[in-house]
Amino acid sequence: MSKFPKDFLWGGATAANQCEGAYNEDGKGLTGQDLTRKGWREAPTAEPTEDNLKLVGIDFYHRYKEDIRLFAEMGFKVFRLSIAWARIFPNGDDQEPNEAGLAFYDEVFDECLKYGIEPLVTLSHYEMPLHLTRTYDGWRSRKVIDFFERYVQTVFKRYKGKVKYWLTFNEINSISHVPFLSGGINTPKEQLTKQDIYQAIHHELVASARAVNACHTIDPEAKIGCMILGVPVYPLTPEPKDVLKSLATERENFFFSDVQVRGYYPSYSKRLFKENNIELDITKQDLADLKHTVDFISFSYYMSVCESADPTKKAGKGNIIGGIPNPYLKASDWGWQIDPEGLRYYLNCLYDRYQKPVFIVENGLGAVDELITLPDGTRTVNDDYRINYMNDHLVQVEEALEDGVEIMGYTSWGCIDLISFTTAEIKKRYGMIYVDRNQDGSGSLERYKKKSFHWYKEVIESNGASLVR
């Protein structure tokens, strides 16, 4: 018997820069994503290059009707997507929006609503107009707050009544790890001080709070949340120094949601700032703005990590946030440790900390899939490994519901194959829909239903009752 509430929002999640393509069509401006052909670790190129798979993505820009129809067939109640800021304001500091960009998302939202799918829209998902990056150094500049506010007010007014659920910044707590793509910061990471990073963080937090205020003012019926990279941090051993180290790392991540949910800087930040010689430029207006807090907390969940005070312990591969591998867990092909129980633990941590609804807006398994042809000519992928991964995590979501956690929904990451953020690969597939595109850019872009497509459809139809416990 299912423990999921009747109004649980089942669905899937994507990001504009990983699926849309059409990077230079209909007036869209460039973003940092158009220059990072190998993922977040590589320095950006000067101009877009043909080997950047994100320039075409999976061509969602031209194929969104087909894709949304497939999502509807799976039974989605919600579809998480992002608006490309540079489609609306190509340079970021433009006085007037680009109508072609606004019209595109009108059509996408209308297509979702046609099938009864609620759009869940991220305002900034790892991309900023490149002009703001190169001219203002992204979130290091206070001026960008005003540009962002103009952008969000524009879309809130345009899509009032169509979009009920909004998120401000995707994985906002990743900025110190990925300053170029997460913060639009042009200055190389190695040249940035903690003062630089935390001042940029402050500007972004103020911008997020202003977006919350604008949303509540323009469309009081809508709900707006924050979005963090969710990573439970376990001490590697019971050694008290390891426990304190894991607490410190955990706070580095919760710092962002603490401000966005509570409306002020946490007390532990005083010591952090003092010991790192950080003196933030904070105005009275900033403090007033921060009091506009989110309606819910959303997060991505892929893995947990361990921490140790022992400097000889090495961080694992693949993780954006680092961390030491847990000897009790297996890992994916990309070195991401698989920890379903960690999702239950993290859901409880968030709800205990904030007592606000939580929303799992990313979770999934990146893997190498093999497209096969069945005797009847159907092309598919037998991805039992993905089914097992999602099943085990969703069982833990159900456990968290039993624990008393108020959970709004679950959107599987990359519900349709897209270009990976971390490595900019297509071979790292998350979807329940296979897209015929290869690492060299070749392929028909045709869509094929994987085995997991039919499994997830049954999970949604049964409201979780079909899960194997």
362 is known as an active-site residue: yes
- The rounded distance, in Å, linking the Cα atoms of 33 and 428 is 17
Which 8-state DSSP code applies to residue 314?
Answer: P
- The rounded distance, in Å, linking the Cα atoms of 224 and 170 is 13
Tell me what pLDDT residue 319 has: 60
Report how far apart the first and last C-alpha atoms of the chain are (Å, whole number): 10
Exposed (0-12), middle (13-18) or buried (19+): which is 339, by Cβ within 10 Å? buried
Q: Which backbone phi and psi does 132 adopt, to 5 degrees? A: -70, -35
In the numeric block, which tokens belong to residue 38?
A: 């190998």
C-alpha to C-alpha distances, 27 to 23, 98, 104, 130, 269, nearest whole angstrom: 9, 7, 11, 14, 42
Q: Which pTM does this prediction carry?
A: 0.97
Cα angle 72, 77, 78; round to 5: 100
In the numeric block, which tokens belong to residue 253?
A: 């991540």
Bridge partners (DSSP) listed for residue 413: 13
Tell me what pLDDT residue 437 has: 98
- The rounded distance, in Å, linking the Cα atoms of 144 and 92 is 8
The one catalytic residue among 127, 362, 398, 446? 362
Cα-Cα-Cα-Cα dihedral of 453, 456, 457, 463, to 10°? 180
**Greatest alpha-carbon span in the chain:** 69
pLDDT tens for the chain, 469 residues long, are 789 999 999 999 999 999 999 999 999 999 999 999 998 888 899 999 999 999 999 999 999 999 999 999 999 999 999 999 999 999 999 999 999 999 999 999 999 999 999 999 999 999 999 999 999 999 999 999 999 999 999 999 999 999 999 999 999 999 999 999 999 999 999 999 999 999 999 999 999 999 999 999 999 999 999 999 999 999 999 999 999 999 999 999 999 999 999 999 999 999 999 999 999 999 999 999 999 999 999 999 999 999 999 999 877 665 666 789 999 999 988 888 999 999 999 999 999 999 999 999 999 999 999 999 999 999 999 999 999 999 999 999 999 999 999 999 999 999 999 999 988 999 999 999 999 999 999 999 999 999 999 999 999 999 999 999 9
Tell me what pLDDT residue 392 has: 98
Closest CA to 172 of 212, 215, 136, 130: 212
3-state secondary structure of 331: strand
Amino acid symbol at 450: K
